[in-house]
Structure 1
Amino acid sequence: MTRIVVLDLHGQFTHLERRALRDMGVDTEIVDADTPPAEVDADGVVLSGGPDMDRIGKAREYIDLDVPVFGICLGMQVIADERGGRVGGGDYGGYADVDVEIVDEADPLVGSLAPDTRVWASHADEVKELPEGFAHTATSDVCGIEAMSNVEEDLYGVQWHPEVAHTEEGEEVFENFVAICESE
């Protein structure tokens, strides 16, 4: 059975990320952000959303595990920052329903949502510049980089929250990540 852990970066929806995976039959648990990656056995890692970079614990170390990593909101920002991208304050700010355009239909995480999807996203902070080696996979009028991926390194991220009911095709994003983990 596929095992995916959710690293808790103190987001208000972390439990919903775990539940989405569990409801798909994935062996999953929430792991405290201060847990060393060497203590975790998993086929994939979700870096949860969260309030800010000051509370990410050992999240950066999980990016270098030899398993796929999926960053959600703050989790995506952690990946971008760690790999040399730039994160900054969003022009929009708080939570909103957002229409997202999928710009890379071949992307294994979000490509199946093409041509567009409606999501629930926070834009207090966001990825402003992609790290080297990453593809820009989704955009919106509110945020230039709504999703990114580096297929060679198995690193993926979305600015939005696929785990909440307001996101129309959130379950499909999790299904796609599980498929990525199972193909490794």
Structure 2
Amino acid sequence: MTRIVVIDNHGQFTHLERRALRDLGVDTELVDNDTDPNDIDADGIVLSGGPDMDRIGRSPDYLDLDVPVLGICLGMQILAEELGGRVGGGDYGGYADVDVEILDDDDPLIGSLAPETRVWASHADEVKEVPEGFTHTGTSDVCTIEAMSDTERNLYGVQWHPEVAHTDEGEEVFENFIDICEQ
């Protein structure tokens, strides 16, 4: 059975990420972000959202485990910051419904979504520049970089929260990530 660990970066929806994976039949566990990377046995990792970069624990260390990683909101920002991209304050700020335009219909994480999909996202901070090797895969009128992928390294990020009911096609994002982990 596929095992995906959710790294808890203290976000208010983190438990819903674990539940979404569990409901899709995945062996999943929620682990604190201070867990030793050597203690993590998984086919994939979700870096959860959270309040800020000051509370990400050992999240950067999990990028070296050679398994697919899905960064959600703060998790995506961790990917960008650690791998040479740039993160900064968003112009919009708090949570809101946003229409995301999918820029790459071949992307394994979000390419199967509708060309424009409604999501629930926070834009207090956001990725301003993707790291080398990443492709910009989703955008909105609120945030230029709503999603990014590095298919060579199996690293993916979305600014929005696929785990909440307000996000259309959120379950499909998790299904696609499971498929990535099973390859």
| Deviation sequence 1:140-182 (CA, Å, 0-9, x none) | 0000000000000110000000000000100000000000000
**Where has structure 1 moved over 6 Å in runs of 4 or more?**
none
Equivalence for 1:123 = 123
Aligned to 1:98: 98
CA RMSD of aligned residues (A): 0.4
TM-score, normalising length from structure 2?
A: 0.99
Instruction: Describe the SS at the equivalent of 2:20.
Output: helix
Unaligned runs of 5+ in 1: none
Q: List per-residue Cα deviations over 1:77-101 (Å, max 9, x = no partner).
A: 0000000000000000000000000
Indicate the residue corresponding to 1:63 in structure 2: 63
For 1:1-184, what aligned pairs fall within 5 Å after superposition?
1-183=1-183
What's the TM-score once normalised by structure 1's chain length?
0.99
Distance 2:19 2:132 in 1: 33
Deviation of 1:116 after TM superposition, in Å, equals 1.2
Find the residue that maps to 1:112 and give its secondary structure. coil
Give the letter for the 2:67 counterpart. Answer: V
For 2:161 and 2:101, locate their aligned partners in 1 and report how far apart those are by CA, in whole Å.
15
Unaligned runs of 5+ in 2: none
Q: Distance in 2 between matches of 1:100 and 1:149?
A: 15
Q: Percent identity?
A: 80
Distance, in Å, in 1 between the alignment partners of 2:43 and 2:17 is 16
